[in-house]
């Protein structure tokens, strides 16, 4: 994806999110973000989009075999979890003293 400017996302590593589209859609179960891949507009979410990966024997994995791992999903398919209102919420971004502050629109609570 060739872009002139770096994309800005409201989701960061370690955030709690809910999956709003796809096979793992569940609006009531918050999950943790393991990694944000900005180049491909994707996120790696804990316990979501599990795929089977066939691995050859190597020095680290002497047996090889079939492993189940999480695959990245599109960042548009997740929303941040608002702990105060116990649901998903949109985000507003404001600057205070040179720092970016993310606030949930539903409850007005600051997301850390």
**Domain layout of the chain by residue ranges:** 16-82
How many Å apart are CA 29 and CA 43, to the nearest integer?
17
The CATH number of domain 16-82, selected from 3.30.70.1520, 3.90.1150.10, 2.170.150.20, 2.30.30.30:
2.30.30.30
When pLDDT is averaged across residues 10-15 and rounded to a whole number, the result is 95
How crowded is residue 79: how many other Cβ atoms within 10 Å of its Cβ? 19
Sign of CA dihedral 99, 102, 108, 112: negative
How many Å apart are CA 110 and CA 25, to the nearest integer?
25
pLDDT digits (tens, 9 = 90+) for 56-107: 999 998 999 999 999 999 999 999 999 999 999 999 999 999 999 999 999 9
Its pTM stands at 0.84
How many Å apart are CA 21 and CA 61, to the nearest integer?
34
pLDDT digits (tens, 9 = 90+) for 26-64: 999 999 999 999 999 999 999 999 999 999 999 998 999
Query: Tell me, what's the pLDDT at 7?
Result: 84
Nearest to 13 by CA among 46, 43, 45, 35: 35
pLDDT above 80 for 1: no
Under DSSP, the state recorded for 87 is: E
Residue showing tokens 């590593």? 13
């Amino acid at each position: 994806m060739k872009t002139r400017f770096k994309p800005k996302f409201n989701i960061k590593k370690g955030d709690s999110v809910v999956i709003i589209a796809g096979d793992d859609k569940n609006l009531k179960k918050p999950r943790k973000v393991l990694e944000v891949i900005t180049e491909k507009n994707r996120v790696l979410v804990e316990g979501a989009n599990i795929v089977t990966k066939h691995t050859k024997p190597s020095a680290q994995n002497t047996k090889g075999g079939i492993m189940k791992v999480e695959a990245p999903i599109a960042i548009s398919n997740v929303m941040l979890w608002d702990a105060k209102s116990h649901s998903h919420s949109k985000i507003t971004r404001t600057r205070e003293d040179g720092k970016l502050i993310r606030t949930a629109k539903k409850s007005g609570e600051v997301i850390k």
